[in-house]
Structure 1
Amino acid sequence: MTIFSLYIFDRHCECIYYQDWHRTRSARPPPPPSFKAGVHRLPPPSSQAQHGNDNTTTTGRESIFSDNNNRSSLQSQINGGGSGGGMNGLGSGVGGSSTRGPKGLPFDEEAKLVYGVILSLRNMVKKLSGREEAFTSYSTSQYKLHLYETITGYKFVLLSDPSSDSLRFVLRQLYVGPFVDYVVRNPLVVMDSREEGIDNDQFRAAVDRHMRGLSMFGT
């Protein structure tokens, strides 16, 4: 089994943290106006790249649910709409074959798609099954999405190998451990900021150690 990437969203639907391990192709930096410091370690884009030739478009969070192919839509749009190469965007191995730099959606649009999926599926589960049921995961042929939501509204999202069991407990461990220790209890971290993420070196290192220590981490 393999772990691909981790997203953390705050109560305002903003992605405040991102880290990946086994993507074959790096995430694409967002354009300068959308670049939020502290969320990820992607290089800041140049202003020239902002005006470059980019044929990738998206029509918002709700648009990916316009048909019954919502799950494959997430995969397709993150991968840049390509038809080959499996999970080119999320990747199942180290070291991609592409040497032309990151393709596909910019990171900010990718994060919106991920959040759109969990929001819509969570609402659908509540409407179909009642409020006692909770959306925790879903699988496609190429990845599995795991969700852990805290009482304070933070959403921890993990993408892994589709063959993995539920990793919700891993997300809970990240919340009660590194997140509480290095984010919640850290007076230097600004919570609920619309301008920056919650990243710091201790938190990122703790998350990395925790993930690499799991038997299902993969190589």
Structure 2
Amino acid sequence: MTIYSFHIFDRHCNCIYNREYSHSSSDNNNNSTTVGIVNKNNDSNGSKLLFGILYSLKSMSSKLIDEETSPIPNALKSFTLGKFRIHYFESLTNLKFILITDINIDNLQHILWELYSNYYIKNCIQNSLSPIEFKISDDLKENELTGKINNHNFIHQTDQFLQSLSVFN
């Protein structure tokens, strides 16, 4: 069981955070994890396809249930594709938190809620130096990372939290 990647999409459908984890086995047959890539594949086709799948499934699931007669709202929480399970949480502000894991991991809604409520809000929203909107503007320099979460505390704390989970190995 393992966690492969963590994504955050904003309300404008942009991937504002992407963290991929590299898992390799060591000589002692213990799983060793090296920290992977941060924000390198935000604009890749993989991120766009992931958002497209989520958007389509959410749209289709909302059309299948009559919200007026159903006492429980229909919410997309996770789904399986091949050898991967995709866990999904959407905040009230339309931020989408996604964990891609091994198929054997069940429900990680509480982990996604923890990432949103304790790490994203603390390090990105309550930090007055961190942007709330991650739009790319024309007046910024070319070498500046824009449109992405670059908060060192957020990256470090979420890495520590995810790596401390028993399902991470």
Superposition TM-score tier, normalisation by shorter sequence = 0.7 to 0.9
Aligned position for 2:47: 111
Alignment of 1:88-127 (within 5 A): 107-127=43-63
Identify which of 128, 131, 141 aligns with 1:187.
128
| Counterpart Cα distance in 2 of 1:23 and 1:155 | 25
Q: Which has the higher strand share?
A: 2
Aligned alpha-carbon RMSD (Å): 2.0
Gaps of 5+ in 2: 25-36, 68-72, 137-145
Aligned position for 1:20: 20
Identity %: 31
Gaps of 5+ in 1: 25-38, 43-104
Aligned position for 1:48: none
How many pairs are equivalent? 142
| Counterpart Cα distance in 2 of 1:155 and 1:41 | 16
Q: Residue 100 of structure 2: SS of its match in structure 1?
A: strand
TM-score normalized by the length of structure 2: 0.78
Q: Residue 4 of structure 1: SS of its match in structure 2?
A: strand
Q: 4+ runs of 1 displaced by more than 2 Å?
A: 39-42, 105-108
Alignment of 1:1-219 (within 5 A): 1-22=1-22, 40-42=38-40, 107-131=43-67, 132-195=73-136, 196=146, 197-218=148-169
1:191-219 per-position Cα deviation (integer Å, ceiling 9, x unaligned): 1121221221100000001001101111x
| Counterpart Cα distance in 2 of 1:106 and 1:181 | 22
The one of the two structures with greater contact order (alpha-carbon pairs below 8 A, sep at least 6) is 1
For the 8 Å contact 1:6–1:19, the answer to whether it is kept is yes
For the 8 Å contact 1:5–1:22, the answer to whether it is kept is no
TM-score normalized by the length of structure 1: 0.61
| Counterpart Cα distance in 2 of 1:123 and 1:182 | 31
